[in-house]
Amino acid sequence: MDLFFLARRFVAGVDVESAIRVVRGLNENGLHATLDLLGENVRDRGQAERAVEAYATLLDRIATAGIDSDISVKLTQLGLDISEHFCEENMRRLLSRAAERRNFVWIDMEGSAYTQRTLDLFFHLFRTHPNVGVAIQAYLYRSEEDVRRLADVGARVRVCKGAYKEPKTIAYRRMRDIRRNFLRLAEILFERGSEPAIATHDEQLIEAVQRLARERGITPDRFEFQMLYGIRPRLQERLVRQGYRVRIYVPFGTHWFPYFYRRLRERKENVWFVLKNLFEWSRA
């Protein structure tokens, strides 16, 4: 049984052309996009180099297709587990290609074992490549200090709750604590940051961020909401109608299962979606 038909709610397809079509449809509805070629924890140099080439080609296709999309990468896909120097060189190649195409590159944050290494590499890259931003996970205790450091240098930050299972020694577990820290990070970014990205589908958080922005006199053009492809599309469209900039994270590629699994762990409604479709498939 091929389970990819279940992942299609969250994954745009296995090839570039499928992803381009999805992004074009999003753009037509007033939504911006971030394309992510799925893959992580690469330990083979050839595989990492092929990922770099695929991303470089993707940047070219975004430009020639005339769609509104930047890209997002995982450093372990580009060889961080092989060598930090190797990964840095790969990132510099991509950032240079993105600059030629007047595009932007986000660095996804992975599990806590990579947090410091990711930020160290980010700060090094940002000195010469301002077209790079980084994600910060609100459930980590360390994130407020990290956000302050990033704001100090004028970096763009995507703040999200966090999707990896982390020990309570380093991460908040209760949702009220995660939400409180998320809002604290948003407040810092509104005060000192550069075009922050607020990445959440949590309506309670979204409404709180909207209130915070109004109180601080932050207009909708000075930040954006970011959400995942296939999750809360009506909420995405409603925010656009309200005048907010909304960017959709659109993953694609053959290495879809780890991403799909994390989406199932995040929300019960995603699990019910899969079970419902499995039941319908079994009756067909």
Which member of 36, 81, 108, 146 is catalytic?
108
Least confident of 97-106, 164-173, 269-278: 269-278
CATH of the domain at 61: 3.20.20.220
Each residue of 222-258: pLDDT tens digit? 999 999 998 889 999 999 999 999 999 999 987 656 6
Q: Is 235 exposed, middle or buried (0-12, 13-18, 19+ CB in 10 A)?
A: middle
In the residue annotation, 24 being an active-site residue is answered as: no
Q: Which residues form the domain of 86?
A: 4-283
Which member of 70, 81, 156, 158 is catalytic?
158
Each residue of 207-220: pLDDT tens digit? 999 999 999 999 99
- What average pLDDT does the chain have? 90
In the residue annotation, 176 being an active-site residue is answered as: no
pLDDT level of residue 6 (50, 70, 90 thresholds) = low
DSSP characters over the chain: --THHHHTTT---SSHHHHHHHHHHHHHTT-EEEEEE-------HHHHHHHHHHHHHHHHHHHHHT--EEEEE-GGGGTTTT-HHHHHHHHHHHHHHHHHTT--EEEPP--GGGHHHHHHHHHHHHTT--SEEEEEETTBTTHHHHHHHHHHTT-EEEEE---S---TTTB--SHHHHHHHHHHHHHHHHHH-SS-EEE---HHHHHHHHHHHHHHT--GGG-EEEEETTS-HHHHHHHHHTT--EEEEEEESS--HHHHHHHHHH-HHHHHHHHHHHHHHHH-
The model carries a pTM of: 0.89
pLDDT beyond 70 at 100: yes
When divided into structural domains, the chain yields a total of: 1
Q: 93 vs 193, which has greater pLDDT?
A: 93
pLDDT beyond 80 at 262: no
Q: What is the mean pLDDT of residues 70-97?
A: 98
Residue 202 pLDDT = 93
